[in-house]
Amino acid sequence: MKECLLCTRRQFLGTASLLAAGAAMPQFLARAAAAVESGKVVKGFHDDRILLVVQLGGGNDGLNMVVPYSDDAYYRARPKIGLKQDRLIKINDQIGLNNRMTAMKDLMDGGKVTLIEGVGYPNPNRSHFRSMEIWHTATDSNKFSETGWLGRYFDNQCGGEAEPVAGVAIGGERPQAFGGKKGFGVAFQDPGSFGWTEGQGQAREENYKLINTVARPHNDTLDFLQKVTNDAVLSSDRVREVAKKYKGGISYPRDPFGQSLETVAKMIAGGLPTKIYYVTLSGFDTHANQVGTQDNLLDRFSKGIDAFYKDMKAQGNGDRVLIMTFSEFGRRVEENASGGTDHGTAAPMMLIGDPVVAGMAGKRPSLTDLDQGDLKYTTDFRSVYASVLDQWLHTDSKIILGQGFPQINMVKGASAIKTA
């Protein structure tokens, strides 16, 4: 198996400062453009399947997203913010979706959604930073890791020569989940923002010329970096052409989340050999005035995912793409005095797309048997990760996660692996 070895972010940033001009285009785009032209998938990976991870940042309140309307304990705990039945789209005689999620309900009715309730982990941490770190590294709550679960997946799948990047996050920061020993994963907001040519203004033209003429002592690392930078600059137009070739015809919401999903769709349509895409919808930390805030966020989430799914179908890529959603924690069962909810524990996850085994998975947590006022998790989030790794990405989850976890049958044609 061949290694997908890239210049690490630390190496790139550390050495780039010596060039007196920071190139905006990381080297992966040059190689990715070449891979697009050759029609290759990422070497070391088994197929062209794609995972899109959607992070709902801030701690999404699962109880007002998937509402247990048949349970009186829900309304006793939330006399002001509890959603009445006329504000729900009923899934069955026990639960309903927030009525701003009509598009998601359509996907459910079409058999495109697996809903897993009560997802969390033992000894939960209610800090945004620490809980997000636990989800990103897939470690026990009392352990720390320098690598992310997807970074370990990248490391495990590759073994010697340079290849296009396997993970792309749409946004300003690379997610901790991408952190690996071989430097996989980058983040950018817009493919058109990378690189520049000589016609893009005097300041950029000066930087362009400086990159190509900077005088310095001979140094193998600097020689390598300058070559990488030059190749990336020269290839940036080709990468932008990948995005320009996108002829979706699907109308995306004009908010940042919708635009991030459209960017992912452009990259997939252009044939970039990326295995993992990552997007974030933030704002779910609803300590006050929750109902209106969360309603609007769920509306964006639902409409954005629906547009992306339709785009994948129109491209003929519906069977190649699996969407997985998560939040770092849920909210407390009881509302607070400010019309919101405070940091909690367990929350729902969703798997979305043509490949899923549709329906409900996991066990709904009790609203009365609580852990200091919080839901007791019923499914470890690493069971979901393990199911995705084994059943969708065709890799050994025990190697990536460090141990085995019981799995749920989530992917059509795959069998759940019962591992203790």
420: in domain: no
359: in domain: yes
pLDDT tens for 1-54 read: 444 433 333 433 333 333 333 334 444 455 555 555 555 555 555 578 999 999
412: in domain: no
| Mean pLDDT lowest among 37-41, 234-238, 269-273, 366-370 | 234-238
pLDDT tens for 203-220 read: 544 554 554 454 445 555
Q: Which amino acid is at 385?
A: Y
419: in domain: no
Mean pLDDT, the chain, rounded, equals: 83
pTM > 0.75: yes
**Structural domain harbouring 105:** 9-401
Total domain count, the chain: 1
CATH code of the domain containing 90 = 3.40.720
pLDDT tens for 161-199 read: 434 468 989 988 889 999 988 767 888 877 766 543 344
365: in domain: yes
124: in domain: yes
- 150-163 burial, b for 16+ CB within 10 Å, e for fewer? bbbbbbbbbeeebb
396: in domain: yes
How far CA 170 is from CA of 191, 217, 264, 313, in Å, comes to: 9, 37, 8, 21
320: in domain: yes
Give rounded-to-5 percent helix, strand, coil for the chain. Answer: 40, 15, 45
pLDDT tier, 292 (very low <50, low <70, confident <90, very high otherwise): very high
- Please give the angle made by the CA atoms of 205, 206 and 211, to the nearest 5 degrees: 100
| Mean pLDDT lowest among 46-50, 60-64, 107-111 | 46-50
